[in-house]
Structure 1
Amino acid sequence: MPPALTLELLATPAGVSGVRRALRSHGIDVQLCASELVTNVIRHVGEGVPVTVRVWRDGGLLRLGVTDPDPRALPVLVGAAGSEAESGRGLALLDALAVRWGVEQEAGRKTVWCELFADAGETPERPGRRGSSAGALGHVSARS
C-alpha cells in the first residue's frame, strides 16, 4: 500500500493532471475522484485557488480529502445529467466509486472527502461494496 500523501497545489487544469500522476500508485478510483474534486474547485470556487489533496489509509479504506478556501461553495449531487450536458457527472462518478463521501466545513475552508476500498479487487461492481450513504450534500459536518 502506498504511503500517505499530501499535495499542495493551485487548482488549474495542469494541476488536475499533476494530481492524477501523483496518485497513480493509489489506483484509478482515487485518481478519478481526486481529479473530479479538484475540477469542482476550479469550476465552483475559481481557477488558481490553493488546494490541498490528501490521501491516507484508514483501516481497509483509502480516504481522500480535497481542501479549498471557500466553505460556502458546497458540492451538490444532481440527478442524471442529460446527454447534451457539459457538466454534472463528476459527483455522480464520485458517488458511484466511493463507499461514502461528504463535506467538512471549517472557518475559512472546506474539505470534500471520500472513502474508497483500499483493496483494488473490491470495486463498486463486485460484491462487498457498501452502498453510498451520501445524499444531496453527502455527509456534512461543520466545525468552527
Structure 2
Amino acid sequence: MNAPPHLELDLLAFPKAVPDLRRAVRQHLGAPCADVQLCVTELVANVIRHVGEGAPVRVRVVRVDGRTRVEVADPDPRALPVLLCATGGDESGRGLALLDAMALRWGVEQGEAGKTVWCELGEADYA
C-alpha cells in the first residue's frame, strides 16, 4: 500500500506537539528524514516564538518531482521570518540559517488569512 501523496496536519503550536509532529513526518515519509524533521521543527518553533504559543498551524509535507516540500501556515501575516546572522554568543536566531543551509529553496506566501512559510529539500537529503 502506497503512502498518501501528502501529509496535512492541523494543530496548535505548542512545544509539546513537536515530538508527535516529527514522528508523523517520519512515518509519512517511511524513511529516516532528519533534515525534513528539522525543517518542520524550526518552522513550528518560529510560529511559537513569533506568533505565540497555541497559534493554530497547518503543516503540510508533500513529495513532488523528486523533492519534499514542507509548509507551515499560521494566521499572522505580519510576523515574517527573517534570516539572521547569529554570533557564537547568541542563544537564538539560528533556525532559519539552518533551514537556509539545508533547503534547496525557501520562502513565504502571504494572504489575507495569514502566511505560509515553506521550504523544499531534495529527496536524497533523507532517502
Partner amino acid, structure 2, of 1:49: A
* Other-structure match for 2:45: 39
Residue of structure 2 equivalent to 1:50: 56
Alpha-carbon displacement from aligned partner over 1:27-67 (angstroms, at most 9, x marks no partner)? 11110000000000000000001000000111011011000
1:59 equivalenced with 2:65 (yes/no):
yes
2:16 corresponds in structure 1 to 14
1:70 aligned onto 2:81? no
Choose between structure 1 and 2 for higher RCO, CA contacts under 8 A separated by at least 6 residues.
2
Residue identity in the other structure for 2:26 = R
User: Among 90, 93, 97, which residue is 1:88 paired with?
Assistant: 93
Measured in 1, the distance between the counterparts of 2:117 and 2:68 equals 14
Once residues 78 and 23 of structure 1 are traced to their aligned partners in structure 2, the CA distance between those partners, rounded to angstroms, is: 27
Structure 1 or 2: larger helix share? Answer: 2
Identity of aligned residues (%): 61
2:35 touches 2:126 (CA, 8 Å); kept in 1?
no
Runs of 4+ in 1 over 4 A off after TM superposition: none
- Consecutive unaligned residues in structure 2, runs of 5 or more: none
Residues 74 and 116, structure 2, Cα contact 8 Å, conserved in 1: yes
For residues 65-106 of structure 1, give each alpha carbon's deviation from its aligned partner in whole angstroms, at most 9, with x where no partner exists: 000000110000011x12221110000010011000000000
Q: 1:117 to 1:44 in 2, by over 3 A?
A: same
RMSD: 1.6
Q: Return 5+ residue gaps in structure 1 as ranges.
A: 123-144
Give the direction of change, closer, same or farther, for the CA distance of 1:60–1:68 in structure 2 (3 Å limit). same
- Per the alignment, residue 118 of structure 1 pairs with 123
